[in-house]
Amino acid sequence: MGHKHKHRTDDAGRGLSDEEYERELYDLQVELVKFQRDLIGQSWKVCVVIEGRDGAGKDGTIKRIIEHLSPRDTRVVALGKPTERDRTSWYFQRFVPHLPAGGEFVLFNRSWYNRAGVEPVMGFCSKEEHRQFLREAPDFEGMLARSGMQLIKYYLDITKDEQKERLEARREDPLKQWKVSPIDAAAIKKWDDYSKARDQMLVKTSHEAAPWHVVKANSKKRARLNVIRHLLSLCDYKGKQKKLLAYDKEIVFPFSEAAISQGLLAR
């Protein structure tokens, strides 16, 4: 069944036992509940975008963030294929209705950034549409920031070997069949195209109002814990336990062009 493989992604040999992981996760989830209480009370609008390669752990990271949060005030947005109407609308239009109102916490499991990754790589949009998106995304996000929305963007990065292993395990796990898609096969074949699209996206769309944060996600558990620590460290809320929120700056770091030249992103 799905448990016959013991993956490197299970953090074996990384000095983080299951007990430590569960304890640290529990403490951070308590902090998330405190944060949400203030978010609702103060009518804040918080939007988190989680992007990354196929198999990078987006679903698992989001699941741990929302696990104990209020279902009424928390939304995960994972839109399907665009309809015919969507295709003739302003590109950002289909995403706008899902943005948070006051007191809401919204997480996009993939987002408008489909147009910077899967769409150009798979030929689902034209080169001009891709170029136009890279120009317009910072303007769109600047408007959101000026409207009082806090927009936090993460890119989960994994190595080619890690992706291959995870996608193979996904195919063999009966509980993960819904995740298997033809795009998985292309993820490995088009690895270099995805790397190029990722670099271009990060360079063109990391800006002061909404910078990108890169997450080294080869270790799923460490990635999850550090994303939550980092997310909470960016937010002010009552009763914040700052010592719990010291994240590993080698796992989560702000994107800069130097990250490309220094080889900090998977090739």
Give tens-digit pLDDT for 14-72.
578 999 999 999 999 999 999 999 999 999 999 999 999 999 999 999 999 999 999 99
Q: Is the pLDDT score of 252 beyond 70?
A: yes
Computed over every residue of the chain, the mean pLDDT equals 93
Residues 174, 178, 3: CA angle, nearest 5 degrees: 30
Report residue 2's pLDDT band, with 50, 70 and 90 as the boundaries.
Answer: very low
> Can you give the pLDDT at residue 49?
98
> Can you give the pLDDT at residue 182?
78
Residues 119, 120, 121: CA angle, nearest 5 degrees: 95
Contact 213, 2 (CB under 8 A): no
Q: What is the pTM of this model?
A: 0.93
Report residue 75's pLDDT band, with 50, 70 and 90 as the boundaries.
Answer: very high
Report residue 4's pLDDT band, with 50, 70 and 90 as the boundaries.
Answer: very low
Extract the tokens encoding 19.
Answer: 């007990």
Q: Is the pLDDT score of 13 beyond 80?
A: no
Q: Is the pLDDT score of 6 beyond 70?
A: no
Residues 179, 180, 181: CA angle, nearest 5 degrees: 110
Specify the amino acid at residue 256. S
The stretch 209-225 carries a mean pLDDT of 98
> Can you give the pLDDT at residue 14?
58
Q: Is the pLDDT score of 5 beyond 70?
A: no
Contact 67, 31 (CB under 8 A): no
The stretch 96-109 carries a mean pLDDT of 98
Sketch out the chain's domains with CATH numbers. Answer: 8-261 (3.40.50.300)
